C-alpha cells in the first residue's frame, strides 16, 4: 500500500510540475511591477506563506477590503473529514485570509458553508472552525432555509433564480476559497462549483443541468477575490474521497478576481484541459470571465 501510494503520488507530482510549468508559457505577458496581474500562481510553500506572497502581488488585502467593511469568506467545509483527506479547504489558509482581512480594517469577518454532512461536524473535523475563531473571525451556520433569500439570476439560461445565504447578500466583500479536487458530477470542484455552498436548493442543479447551473449562478454575484487551495489535492473519488491514497501534495495556490480564469488555470494544474469542463466554457461564453490563459497577465511565484 505504501509503495503504491508513493508511486501514485510521484507520478501525480510530475504531472503537476508539467502543468504548473505550462503556466510559465505566459511569462512574456508580465507587465511592469505597477501593473495589475489577472492571476497569481504560487507554489512550493505552506498555505499561509503562499497566500502572503500571492496577495502581496495583487497589492495586498487592502486593495480588496476597506476599513469598517463586512467580509464573508466561503471555503469548502462540506464534508466531515480531516484536513489530510483534502475534502475541504485547508484551515491554515482560511485562518490567514481572516487575519489579512482584519489587518486591512474589516469590521467583521464571517466564514460559512452550506455543508453536505452535518454542519457542526464538518466545521469541527475540518479544523476550520478552530482556525477561524483563533484568527478572530466568526463562524456562521448554513443549515436552515430561513438563512436564505430568493434572488433573480438575470443572465441565467437554465437557472433563473436561487435562494442565497443572507451573509452573501449583506456582505461588502465576498471572498471565495475553494479546494481543488475531483468531483463525480462536475469533474472538478473549483471557484464556480464552490458557489453551491451559498445556495439552498443544490439538488435542483444536480437534477437539471449541473454544468449550466454552475455557469449561470456564477453570473449572479462575482466574488471580489477567489483563492484556489491546491496544497493537497484529491485526484480521485471526489467529492467525499475514500482514502488519503486519493490525495497528492501539490503545494500550490491560485489567486484571481476572475473566477473563470481561476478555474481554467485550476483545470490545467489538475492536468485537464479547461475545455473539457463544460461549466468553464459556458461561463466564458456568458461573459462571466476569461478562460483563455494566453490572454492573461499571470504572475508566477516559487517559494
Asked if residue 245 lies in contact with residue 99, where contact means CB atoms within 8 angstroms, the answer is no
The number of residues in the chain equals: 303
User: What confidence score (pLDDT) does residue 22 get?
Assistant: 52
Count structural domains, the chain.
1
Report how far residue 291's alpha carbon sits from residue 294's, in angstroms, rounded to the nearest whole number.
9
Whole-model pTM?
A: 0.89
Q: Which of 26-40, 75-89, 221-235, 274-288 has the lowest mean pLDDT?
A: 26-40
Between β-strands 39-43 and 247-256, what pairing exists: parallel, antiparallel or unpaired? antiparallel
User: What confidence score (pLDDT) does residue 243 get?
Assistant: 79
Asked if residue 114 lies in contact with residue 165, where contact means CB atoms within 8 angstroms, the answer is yes
* Tally of CB atoms within 10 A around 186: 22
Tell me the β-bridge partners of 138: 110
Residue range 78-86: mean pLDDT, rounded: 94
Question: What are the C-alpha distances in Å from 68 to residues 9, 71, 151?
Answer: 45, 9, 26
Express each pLDDT in 103-142 by its tens digit: 999 999 999 999 999 999 999 999 999 999 999 999 999 9
Confidence label for 184 from pLDDT (cuts 50, 70 and 90): confident
**187: domain range?**
2-302
Q: Is 271 exposed, middle or buried (0-12, 13-18, 19+ CB in 10 A)?
A: middle
User: What confidence score (pLDDT) does residue 21 get?
Assistant: 53
- Residue 74's nearest CA partner among 190, 188, 212 is 190
CATH code at position 158: 3.40.50
Question: What are the C-alpha distances in Å from 59 to residues 54, 55, 65, 260, 267?
Answer: 9, 7, 11, 21, 25
Confidence label for 74 from pLDDT (cuts 50, 70 and 90): very high
Asked if residue 206 lies in contact with residue 184, where contact means CB atoms within 8 angstroms, the answer is no
Express each pLDDT in 206-260 by its tens digit: 999 999 999 999 999 899 999 999 999 999 887 877 678 899 999 999 999 999 9
Report how far residue 194's alpha carbon sits from residue 179's, in angstroms, rounded to the nearest whole number.
8
Between β-strands 173-177 and 161-165, what pairing exists: parallel, antiparallel or unpaired? unpaired
Output DSSP code: residue 199. Answer: B
Report how far residue 283's alpha carbon sits from residue 133's, in angstroms, rounded to the nearest whole number.
35
Output DSSP code: residue 101. Answer: H
Amino acid at each position: 500500500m505504501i509503495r503504491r501510494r508513493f508511486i501514485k503520488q510521484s507520478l501525480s507530482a510530475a504531472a503537476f510540475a508539467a502543468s504548473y510549468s505550462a503556466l510559465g508559457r505566459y511569462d512574456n505577458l508580465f507587465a511592469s511591477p505597477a501593473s495589475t496581474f489577472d492571476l497569481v500562481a504560487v507554489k512550493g510553500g505552506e498555505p499561509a506563506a503562499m497566500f502572503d506572497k500571492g496577495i502581496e502581488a495583487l497589492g495586498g488585502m487592502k486593495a480588496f477590503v476597506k476599513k469598517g467593511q463586512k467580509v464573508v469568506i466561503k471555503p469548502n467545509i462540506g464534508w466531515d473529514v480531516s484536513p489530510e483527506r483534502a475534502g475541504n479547504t485547508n484551515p491554515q489558509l482560511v485562518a490567514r485570509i481572516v487575519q489579512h482581512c482584519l489587518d486591512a480594517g474589516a469590521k467583521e469577518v464571517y466564514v460559512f458553508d452550506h455543508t453536505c454532512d452535518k454542519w457542526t461536524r464538518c466545521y469541527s473535523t475540518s479544523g476550520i472552525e478552530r482556525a477561524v475563531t483563533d484568527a478572530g473571525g466568526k463562524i456562521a451556520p448554513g443549515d436552515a432555509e430561513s438563512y436564505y433569500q430568493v434572488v433573480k439570476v438575470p443572465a441565467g439560461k437554465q437557472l433563473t433564480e436561487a435562494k442565497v445565504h443572507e451573509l452573501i447578500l449583506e456582505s461588502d466583500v465576498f471572498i471565495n476559497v475553494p479546494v481543488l479536487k475531483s468531483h463525480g458530477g462536475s469533474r472538478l470542484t473549483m471557484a464556480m462549483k464552490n458557489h453551491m455552498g451559498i445556495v439552498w436548493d443544490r439538488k435542483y442543479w444536480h437534477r437539471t443541468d449541473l454544468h449550466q447551473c454552475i455557469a449561470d449562478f456564477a453570473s449572479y454575484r462575482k466574488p471580489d477575490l477567489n483563492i484556489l487551495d491546491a496544497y493537497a489535492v484529491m485526484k480521485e473519488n471526489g467529492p467525499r474521497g475514500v482514502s488519503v491514497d486519493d490525495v497528492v501534495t501539490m503545494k500550490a495556490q491560485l489567486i484571481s478576481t476572475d473566477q473563470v480564469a481561476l478555474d481554467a488555470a485550476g483545470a490545467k494544474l489538475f492536468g485537464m484541459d479547461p475545455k473539457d469542463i463544460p461549466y468553464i466554457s459556458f461561463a466564458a461564453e456568458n461573459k462571466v470571465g476569461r478562460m483563455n490563459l494566453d490572454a492573461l497577465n499571470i504572475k508566477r511565484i516559487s517559494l
